[in-house]
Structure formats: C-alpha cells, structure tokens
Amino acid sequence: MVTEMKSDIPVKEIMTREVCTIRKKDTVHTLAKRMVEYGVGSAVVIENGKPIGIVTEKDLISKIVARNKVPSKVTIEEVMTHPIITINPHTSLRDAAMIMIKRGIRRLPIVDNSGNLVGIITDSDILGVSLDLGEFAALITENAVGYASIESEEESYSPGICERCGKYTDRLITVNGMKLCEDCAESEG
C-alpha cells in the first residue's frame, strides 16, 4: 500500500519567504553585498515585483571573476540568467525536486497567481526538510535513464550527494573511487 509521502506537501510549507532580490540596473557590487547580508548564494532579479532572472555565485565567478571585470561597473542585467523557471506555492516538493533534477538547477523562485515573487526553494531545503534518502534515491533512479545520458567526451555525470561535503549536486564526478561534487573534485585533484 502506497502512503502519501512527505514530498507531497506544497512548497509553501517550507519556502523561504524573505528572498534576496535585486534590480537589473543595480551593480554586481551591490548584489555581492546583498548576498553576503542575506547569507545566500543567489538573488532573484525582479521588476515590478515579478521575477525576470536570477544571479548565482556561479554566474559571478564565471562572468565577473574569471573575466577580471570590475563588479561596480557591471550591471545585473549583464550577468543574470533569464528567462527564469518558477513554480507556484501549491507545487509539491516532489514536483519541485523533479523540475530541479530535469532542468539541472538548484533554486526555484515561487510566484503567486499574479506572477509576483512570494518565496524561493532550494535543493537543500528539499533535502533537509522532506526527502528521506530512500525517496530521494527513487527520484534519481526514476530519472536516471534520461539524465545520465548527459555526457562529456571523457566522463559521465550523474546527480547525487557528494561523499565528502554531503551536498546534493546535479554533477557528481568520480575521483579516487569517491563520488564528489565539482568543488570537492577540484580540491582532490
């Protein structure tokens, strides 16, 4: 007999309501200060209360630091990822997790019926609150056929939990017999 799993609760039950936001005309320097203030790794770009993009730590590293750009001279519009994928507050945790896995993303802004930003949920929120490892493994297994087919010429990547830091990632890399996230794999090599 199948019982209702915790992941069937709506995301509104665990979403973060106080979202770090930024405007597209603000600078990356302003964004970095705001992300530190909120203690987060991303900010949702809003216009008239509606999300139009997102900027993550990865964006800052690849689009600012790696290119040696001056953060106070670059606008958010230049580095944000758009269009943005959003969900509504009544989306189940399971469906949110599936969207993240299929799209290879770690954050989902949550919007109301008018399209206004009301919260955000991350992969860590989902793992920490509702998904026991058995159910999470089932999600990965259900998706493995389509997802594991994403390969580079040298390696195959798969989603899972890093054996060193314990963080969920959509790209585990095998290094010295351990399945590691990209950050831990780099420090190992």
Residue 121 is assigned to a structural domain of this protein:
yes
114 and 164 in a common domain: no
* pLDDT over 90 (residue 28): yes
Residue 138 is assigned to a structural domain of this protein:
no
Instruction: Please state whether beta strands 21-22 and 42-47 pair in parallel, antiparallel, or not at all (unpaired).
Output: parallel
Q: Residue 157's pLDDT is what?
A: 59
Question: Which tens digit of pLDDT belongs to each residue from 135-171?
Answer: 555 565 555 544 443 333 334 556 777 788 877 777 8
Residue 1 is assigned to a structural domain of this protein:
no
Q: What are the residues whose beta carbons fall under 8 Å from the beta carbon of 34, sequence distance 6 or more? A: 20, 22, 43
Q: Residue 139's pLDDT is what?
A: 61
110 and 166 in a common domain: no
156 and 105 in a common domain: no
Total domain count, the chain: 2
Question: Which tens digit of pLDDT belongs to each residue from 54-64?
Answer: 999 999 999 99
- Mean pLDDT within 9-34: 94
Q: Are 150 and 157 in contact (CB under 8 A)?
A: yes
Residue 145 is assigned to a structural domain of this protein:
no
19 and 108 in a common domain: yes
77 and 16 in a common domain: yes
Residue 115 is assigned to a structural domain of this protein:
yes
113 and 179 in a common domain: no
Question: Which tens digit of pLDDT belongs to each residue from 65-118?
Answer: 999 999 999 999 999 999 999 999 999 988 998 999 999 899 999 999 999 999
Residue 90 is assigned to a structural domain of this protein:
yes
Residue 144 is assigned to a structural domain of this protein:
no
Q: Residue 176's pLDDT is what?
A: 80
* pLDDT over 80 (residue 44): yes
Percentage of the residues of the chain whose pLDDT score is greater than 90 = 53
CATH of the domain at 63: 3.10.580.10
Q: Residue 145's pLDDT is what?
A: 47
Burial class (CB in 10 A: 0-12, 13-18, 19+), 52: middle
Residue 135 is assigned to a structural domain of this protein:
no
Domain that holds residue 123: 6-129
- Mean pLDDT within 3-27: 84
For residue 172 the two structure tokens come to 């585990």
Q: Residue 141's pLDDT is what?
A: 57
